[in-house]
Structure 1
Amino acid sequence: MMHAKILAAVLFLAPSALAADRTWQQCGGIGYKGVMTCDRGDICQYWNDYYSQCIPAPTTTTRRTTTTTKKSTTTTKTTTKVSVTTSSTTEVPVTTTSTTEVPVTTSTTTTEVPVTSTSSTTTSTTPTSTPALEDLELYHGNALSSGWENWSWSSTFDFTYAGPPTPPAGSGGSVIQVTTGGYGGVSFRNPKGYAGYKTLVFQVAGASAWGLVADSTTEPFTSGAVSLVDSCPTPPTADAFTTCYFDIAKLGDHAWDRVTFQSWSDKDQTTYLANLFFTTKTALELTDTKSFGSGAAFGSNTLLLIGTGDITDVTVTKGGEPVAIASSEIVENPSRRVYAKLASSWAPGVYTVTHSAGVITITIPAAVTGDLSSANGTRKISKWIYGTNFPASSGFLNTYGIPLGRWGGNAMTPYNPITKYINAANDWYFENRPADNGGFESWAKMVAAGHAKAVYSIPMLDWVAKPKDCWSYSVAKYGPQDKVDPYNADAGNGLQNGTRIVNDPNDCYVPWGPSNVTAYLSSLDAATASTIEFFTIGNELDIADGTHPDIQQEKMSYDNELARVKAYGQAIRAAIPTAKILGPTSCCFWFWWHSSVGETDQAAHGGLSKLRYLLRELRAYDEEVGKKTIDYLDVHFNPQEGRPGDGSAADNASRLRSSRAWWDPTYKDESYMGQDGVYAGEENPGSVYFIRRMKKLISEEYPGLGLAVTEWYNNNDLVGGLQIADGLGIFAREGLDVATKWANTDPGSAGAAAYWLYSGGYNSAKPFPDQYLNVPIFYDPDTAAVFFAKGESNTAGVFINKNPTEYQHYKVVGWKAGTYTIRHFGTPGVRSDQGALFEATITLDASSTVVVPPYSAVFLSQ
C-alpha cells in the first residue's frame, strides 16, 4: 500500500475472496480521494493528517458509534423534544496531532417516536416522502425510529433541527442536521435488517459530496458507493430539500442491515436529512413518469434517451426542420435507455428533442478535424499498461479485459512466502496475520483464470513475518507506549514520547535474505511461475524506515537502497534468468529525488537526485557483472490537484486538469509538486510531466530500461473514470511500458468502464489496437482528450469530453465508409456509480463525424 504522504487510496472490492481486504486499508487523509467507508462494520481510524485506516471494530451487544476525529472531541448530540433513552458507548481512544489520547463521547436515541403522516399538496411529479404503513421507517419527526442504531463517525447530530432550510412536508417540523468532519460518515444499523426492501427514500439539503453505501454486517458484505447526486432526480441545494432514492434493488440480494452516507470531502460539511424510509417499491416505480428524464447526442447519429418514455412520442428538429428517427434499441441495465439512430448524422447547430414530458435541447459545435493521413509516426502500445493492483476476481479481469494484476503493498513487504504470513506494519500496530486468499500462489491461480498475468513484489528487507499472531512492540516487553491497538492493549505503536523504540525483530520475524529469494523462486511450480510476468524489488523501499521501522531501524539512505536493489535484483535473476524485473519501486514524488536521511545524503553523493544516482550506479554495476539488475525503472505516482475536495465544478475541473502531470512540461502543477524547491536540482521544477521526465532520465543515465508505474490512482466515480480513460490513452501515446492502478478498480464503476472502453472485455474483437497513431488534432487538454491507434485491419479512436456542460464534435478524415463498433460511458447513460457496458455497431460514410456528450468518453473502431 502507498505511504500516507502520497495519498494512496483503496476502493471497495466486489464480492470475492478479496472482499475482506478493506480491513487495514486507507479510508481518509488530506487529499485522499478513494473510498472512505470500511467493510464488516470496521471503523475508520485517524492516524495522522494524511492517513486514516479501516480497523476491526469492538464487539458490542447493542450498538457502536465511532469517530475519526483529529484535534478535538467529537460529540454526537441529541436534543430531542420528547422523552428518550440515551445510551453511551465506551470511550475509544483516538489519535490527535499530539500523543495524548482523546476520548470520544457519543449518544443516540433509540426510543420509538409516534409518527403522524401529513399529506402534501404539492403538484410536483415527485411523490410524497411520507412512508406508507408497510414501509420500514428509519427517521421521522424528531428521532431515529425504533430498532435503529447510530453507527456514525466524525459526526455531530441534531435530530430535532427545525431549519433553515424549511423542513419538508411530512417531517413534523424537524429534520436531522448533521455536520461531518473530513471523510466522516452518517451510518445507521437495524439488527433486523432491511433485506427485501428495494429503495431508501429520503429528502436532503445542504452539502452533496456524499456516497451511499449498503452493508451487511452479518455476511459480511459492503456494496460499492453510489454518489448522492446520482440518487437524486434534482440535484441537492443548500436552501431547499429534494427527494432522493437509493436504489438498493440493484445492489444484489444480501442481508442488508446498515446504511451509510459517507462524506467524500476532507473538510467539514453540514447536511440536512428528513423522512428516511425503506420501501418495497423500486426507484423506477417511485419516479416513473413514463417519460424521458434526460438525453444526449453521441457518436455519428445516435440519440440516447434515459427513462421510460415511448420513442414513438419523440420528435427531433433542427432549425425547425424535422429529423427522422431511423431505428431504436432499448437497453434496461442499469437504467432504461433508448438508443435511437437518426436518419442523418449530427451537424453543427441546435437540435430540439421533444417528448411527452418536456424538451431536451442539444447544441452541437463546429467539428474539429483530424486527418489520419497526417499521422506523424506510430508507436507500439504495451498491453501491460492496462493493469490494476489486486483485481477483485477472475470474472472481473475477464469482463473488463484487464491483462495484469499486481500483488504488492506495505503488508506484502514482509510477506513470508513459505508460511503465507504478513505483517500490517505501521498501518496497524505491526501485527502479524495470515495473508488473504491463501497467499500468493492461490491468488495467482485466480489471476490466471482471468486470462491475466501477475506482478509479484518480492520481499527485500532482512526479515519476513513469523507464522504466528504477534506484534512487534509488546507493551509487556517494551513498556507503555504513546498509543496501543484499541482492541489489543499489548500491541503498541512503537513510540514512547515520540521516540522510536528499538525492538528485537526476532519477536515477530524470521531472517530473510537474497539467498532465500533465489531458493524460493527456484521452487515455484510451473503454473505459478508462468503466471508471473514481472517481479518488483519489494514495495517502496525508500520509505521502509517509516512503514517498517521494526525491521528497518536505520534511515533508508542512497547507499542502503542501492545495495538492496543490487542484491535482490540479482537474486531474482539467479533463480529466473529471463525474469522481467522492476525497481526500485519508489514510493512517491518526494522520494524520487530525496532519501529519508535528508539533504546531507544528496550532498554526500555529488548533489545528485536520488533516482539519478541509483540509475547511474546500477548501470555501472550491471556493466561490471554482465547482467541487468532491473529491466524497468518502476516509480509510483499519483497526479495531485490543488482542489477544494468538495465535489464542486471547480473541484472536478482541477481533478481533470491534473492528468497533464503525466506528460505536459508546460503544466505548472497545482499541488505541492508545483514548488520549485522540491526537485533536488532537476530541470524545469514545478512541472512534473512524469512519463517524459522519467524517459529522459533513463536516456541520460541507463539507456535501454523500460518505464513502469505499479501504483497510480484515480477515483471510481464519473470524474475518476474520465481521468482513468485519459490516463490510459496518455500511457499509450507516451509509450509507458507497465502500469497497474492502485488499488482495485470497483467492478460496476465508471473507473472499471474506462478499462472496458479500451478493451471491450477479454478476447474482444475490437480492442484499442496496439500501434499508436500520432494524429495532429487540436483540443484543449484541460477539457478534452483524443487518442488514435491502428491494428492490422482497423483504426480506432477514443474521444474524452472533460467539459461538464458542452458537447464536443470531431471529424476524422481518412476513416473509410463502413461498419464501426462504438462503446461509450458517461453522462447520461452511465451514472458515476454504474458501469453499464453498451456496445453497438453503426454505419459511417466518409462525411460522418463523432459527437461526444459532456462528461463522457466514446470509443469508435472500424
Structure 2
Amino acid sequence: AGGVRYYALDNEPFLWNYTHRDVRPEPVGYDELRDKAYTYGAAIKSADAGAKVFGPALWGATAYYYSGIDAASGNWDNPPDRLAHGDVPLVDWYLQQMRQYEQQNGTRILDYLDLHYYPQNSGVALQTAGDLATQQMRLRATRSLWDATYTDESWIANTTEPVMRLIPRMRDWVNQNYPGTKTAVTEYNYGGLEHINGALAQADVLGIFGRENLDLATLWDPPTINQPGAFAFRMYRNYDGNGAVFGDQYLRSTSQNQGQLAVYSAKRSSDGMVTVMVVNKSMASVQGDFTFVNYAAGLSSAEIYQYSADDLRTIRHENSIVINQHGTASYVFRANSITLFVFDPTDSNAPIYDLFLPSITK
C-alpha cells in the first residue's frame, strides 16, 4: 500500500501488431486480452490491494467494438473474433469478463474502464489550430463526447455507431456489464493548444468531463506553460493566480445554444462559492441574458475572470455584475473567450445556491 497509485493494463492493444510489430507481429484477440488482464490485474491487487487498475486502454472508436484479430482480417461485415464471442462488442465482452472474475474470485481487478479518444476530423487532434474551417470543426467536435443529436463529422459517421456520445456510452457499458466500474479517458487531444481556438475547445472539454461525470482524464501532449491551452486549465484550477479553483459539486446549467455559449456550473465545497464557466465559441461578441431559477429575492453580484483573444498572456479580473431582484442579468461575452463568474453565498442576498440553475436565454 502507498506505492504506485494507478496501473494501466498496457496500452492500445488493438494496435500492437502495428506499433510493436518487431516484438508483437500477431494481432491481439478477445481471449488474450482477457487472460492478460486476469494475470496482471490479479498480480497488482495481490501486491497492493489499494492500487487502482485501468483497462483495456483502447485507442479509439474501432477498438471499442472489435479486436486486433478482426482488424487484421479486414472483414468488417463478418469479423471472425467478435463472431466467435457471440457477436458481442469488445468493450461489453471485456467488462462482462472482468465482472465474472470478481464473482468467481471475490476480487475486483478492474477499477476503471479506460478508453482513449481523439477526434478523427482532419486537422483537429494533435495539430495546430489550422484554418477557419478547421477551427470551427474543432469546436463542434467536442459534441461527440456527449451529444446524442450530433452525428460525427469524420469517418466515424460511416460506422455502425455514427453518434458517438462517448461518455454517456461509457456509463451505459458500465451499467449494463459491470456496475461500479469507474470511467477514464486517459488519452485525448483536440489540438490547437497554441491558439485561442484550442483553449476554447479545451475549456469546453473540461466542462463536459465534469458535467458528464467522467471520473478521470489525462491530456496527451499537454501545452507549454504559456500557451493558450494552459490558460484553459488555469481558468478551472487557478483563475486568480492564488490557487482559486472551479467548484467540485455539480450544479445543473443549460444554454439555449450550447454550441455558441457553452455553460458549466458547480459549487465549491470548501467555501460554498458558486462558479459558472461560459465558453463563447463564436468569433463575435455575444450578449447572454441569464435567468436564475429558485432565486432568493434581492440583489447579488459576481466576480468575473476572463481569458480571451484580446490578451493571450493573462486572465483578466473584470468588473462585477449584479443580479437583479428578479434573478436575471445580462453580460456581453467577448469573442473567443472563456469567462468565469464567482458568486459568494455569504452575501445575504445571494441565490439559493443549492438550487442555482443558470440558463442563457439569448
* TM-score of the aligned structures, taking structure 1 as reference length: 0.36
- Unpaired segments ≥5 residues, structure 1: 1-521, 680-684
The SS at the match of 1:562 is helix
Partner of 1:836: 314
1:75-97 CA-partner distances (Å, limit 9, x unpaired)? xxxxxxxxxxxxxxxxxxxxxxx
Judge conservation of contact 2:301–2:322 (CA < 8 Å) in 1: yes
Structure 1 residue 690 and structure 2 residue 166: aligned? yes
1:515-557 CA-partner distances (Å, limit 9, x unpaired)? xxxxxxx8xxx6xx2xx44221122123222212233232111
Judge conservation of contact 1:674–1:686 (CA < 8 Å) in 2: yes
Give 1:649 shift: 2.5
Which residue of 176, 179, 182 maps to 1:703? 179
Partner of 2:74: none
1:401-457 CA-partner distances (Å, limit 9, x unpaired)? xxxxxxxxxxxxxxxxxxxxxxxxxxxxxxxxxxxxxxxxxxxxxxxxxxxxxxxxx
Partner of 2:110: 630
Which residue of 274, 279, 284 maps to 1:800? 279
Partner of 1:824: 306
Give 1:849 shift: 2.7
Q: Using a 3 Å threshold, how does the CA distance of structure 1 residues 827 and 668 change in structure 2: closer, same or farther?
A: same
Give 1:778 shift: 3.3
Give 1:659 shift: 0.5
Structure 1 residue 850 and structure 2 residue 344: aligned? no
Judge conservation of contact 2:13–2:68 (CA < 8 Å) in 1: no
Partner of 2:214: 736
Distance (Å, rounded) in 1 between the aligned partners of 2:113 and 2:241: 30
Q: Letter of the aligned partner of 2:46 in structure 1?
A: A
The SS at the match of 2:117 is coil
Q: Using a 3 Å threshold, how does the CA distance of structure 1 residues 643 and 779 change in structure 2: closer, same or farther?
A: farther
Distance (Å, rounded) in 1 between the aligned partners of 2:100 and 2:242: 44
Give 1:762 shift: 9.9
Which residue of 70, 93, 98 maps to 1:613? 93
1:145-185 CA-partner distances (Å, limit 9, x unpaired)? xxxxxxxxxxxxxxxxxxxxxxxxxxxxxxxxxxxxxxxxx
Q: Using a 3 Å threshold, how does the CA distance of structure 1 residues 843 and 810 change in structure 2: closer, same or farther?
A: closer
Partner of 1:783: 260
The SS at the match of 2:201 is helix
Give 1:723 shift: 0.6
Judge conservation of contact 1:801–1:808 (CA < 8 Å) in 2: no
Q: Letter of the aligned partner of 1:810 in structure 2?
A: D
1:55-80 CA-partner distances (Å, limit 9, x unpaired)? xxxxxxxxxxxxxxxxxxxxxxxxxx
Give 1:802 shift: 0.7
Partner of 1:562: 34
Give 1:850 shift: 2.7
Give 1:826 shift: 1.7
- Unpaired segments ≥5 residues, structure 2: 71-78, 344-362
Give 1:563 shift: 0.9
Judge conservation of contact 2:285–2:333 (CA < 8 Å) in 1: no
Distance (Å, rounded) in 1 between the aligned partners of 2:114 and 2:188: 11
Partner of 1:405: none
Structure 1 residue 548 and structure 2 residue 20: aligned? yes
Across the aligned residues of Structure 1 and Structure 2, the Cα RMSD in angstroms comes to 2.3
Structure 1 residue 669 and structure 2 residue 141: aligned? no
Q: Letter of the aligned partner of 2:305 in structure 1?
A: R
Distance (Å, rounded) in 1 between the aligned partners of 2:274 and 2:98: 40
Give 1:621 shift: 1.4
Alignment of 1:144-223 (within 5 A): none
Q: Letter of the aligned partner of 1:702 in structure 2?
A: Y
The SS at the match of 2:314 is coil
Give 1:641 shift: 2.6
Which residue of 130, 136, 144 maps to 1:653? 136
Give 1:690 shift: 0.3
Q: Using a 3 Å threshold, how does the CA distance of structure 1 residues 667 and 843 change in structure 2: closer, same or farther?
A: closer
Partner of 1:339: none
Q: Letter of the aligned partner of 2:278 in structure 1?
A: F
Q: Using a 3 Å threshold, how does the CA distance of structure 1 residues 607 and 843 change in structure 2: closer, same or farther?
A: closer
* TM-score of the aligned structures, taking structure 2 as reference length: 0.82
1:742-792 CA-partner distances (Å, limit 9, x unpaired)? 1122211111101111112699564111111113x3332332201111134
Partner of 1:770: 248
Give 1:674 shift: 0.8
Give 1:812 shift: 4.1
Q: Letter of the aligned partner of 1:802 in structure 2?
A: K
Judge conservation of contact 1:542–1:561 (CA < 8 Å) in 2: no
Partner of 2:289: 810
Partner of 1:591: 63
Partner of 2:188: 712
The SS at the match of 2:302 is strand
Q: Which structure features the higher share of helix residues?
A: 2
Judge conservation of contact 2:7–2:52 (CA < 8 Å) in 1: yes
Judge conservation of contact 2:255–2:263 (CA < 8 Å) in 1: no
1:690-742 CA-partner distances (Å, limit 9, x unpaired)? 00111101111111101000000022021111010000000111000000011
Judge conservation of contact 2:280–2:286 (CA < 8 Å) in 1: yes
1:617-673 CA-partner distances (Å, limit 9, x unpaired)? 111112101111111100000123356998333221111100100001110100011
The SS at the match of 2:68 is coil
The SS at the match of 2:221 is coil
Give 1:811 shift: 1.7
The SS at the match of 2:164 is coil
Distance (Å, rounded) in 1 between the aligned partners of 2:157 and 2:139: 16
Distance (Å, rounded) in 2 between the aligned partners of 1:843 and 1:603: 60
Distance (Å, rounded) in 2 between the aligned partners of 1:764 and 1:709: 29
Q: Letter of the aligned partner of 2:335 in structure 1?
A: P
Give 1:854 shift: 1.2
The SS at the match of 1:651 is helix
Judge conservation of contact 2:286–2:332 (CA < 8 Å) in 1: yes
Distance (Å, rounded) in 2 between the aligned partners of 1:649 and 1:808: 23
Judge conservation of contact 2:8–2:57 (CA < 8 Å) in 1: yes
Give 1:609 shift: 1.1
Q: Letter of the aligned partner of 1:790 in structure 2?
A: K
Distance (Å, rounded) in 2 between the aligned partners of 1:780 and 1:641: 22
Q: Letter of the aligned partner of 2:167 in structure 1?
A: I
Distance (Å, rounded) in 2 between the aligned partners of 1:852 and 1:583: 41
Partner of 2:350: none
Judge conservation of contact 2:184–2:215 (CA < 8 Å) in 1: yes
